[in-house]
Each structure stands twice: as structure tokens, then as C-alpha cells.
Amino acid sequence: MEYVSTILVALVAIEHAYILVLEMFLWEKNRTRKIFGLKKEDVKTTKIFAANQGLYNGFLSAGLIWGLVHPNVLTGTEIQLFFLSCVLIAALFGGFTVKKTIILVQGLPALLALGSLFFV
């Protein structure tokens, strides 16, 4: 189960690194607009806010990677638990305030990874 847990946590970290790239560097691209359901006229006014959100997603990703590579397994697991909990809370908040699919796209992988840590 340890390998499954590592893979799930790594996937959540990769997902949030990808969100960082979308929000910080690709915000004005058509594909990004489509992913986030943005109108073309809203992209310019929301760009700085998206970059800020992207930075936070990067912190989540970095925290998860830190937990995965930490030399002390117990401490690494605790770090992963903390950052996965942050991802889950953020996904729930985003799902209730912005777009319901955030719960599925970001919350479900975090929940699965979080659950898997209890079986390691």
C-alpha cells in the first residue's frame, strides 16, 4: 500500500504544479480559458488574481513533494497529511463557492491520497 500512497500523493502534487502553470503562466491561453470557464474579456482583469492562486497551488505541490522526499518517514507522512488536508479543504471551499467540479477534480484525488496514508 505504501507504493499506492506514494503514487497518489505524487499525482496530487503534479496536479497542483500543473494548476500553478495554468494560473501563473498560461492564463491568457484559449485552453486555460476553456478549463476555467472564463470569458475572453475577463482574462485580463483576473490575471493577477490567478497568478496569486497559482502561487498557492505551487506551495501545496511543494509541500507534498517535501513530504514525499523527507528523510524521516514519519515526519514525511505528517507533512503529507497536512498538505493533503489543505488541498481537500481548498477543494471543498472552491467547490461550494466557485465551481462544483473542483470537489471532484481536486478534492477526490486528495481524499484518496489522504485515505491511503492511513493504510501505510
Contact assessment for residue 87 and residue 80, using Cβ atoms and an 8 Å cutoff = no
Going by C-alpha positions, the residue among 104, 120, 113 that lies closest to residue 81 is 113
User: And the C-alpha cell for 30?
Assistant: 484559449
What pLDDT shows up at residue 120?
A: 77
Q: What pLDDT does residue 88 have?
A: 98
Q: What pTM was computed for the model? A: 0.94
Taking only the tens place, the pLDDT of each residue in 22-51 is: 999 999 999 999 999 999 999 999 999 999
Give the model's pLDDT for residue 32. 96
Does position 74 have pLDDT exceeding 80, yes or no? Answer: yes
* pLDDT, tens digit, 9 for 90 and up, residues 1-11: 789 999 999 99
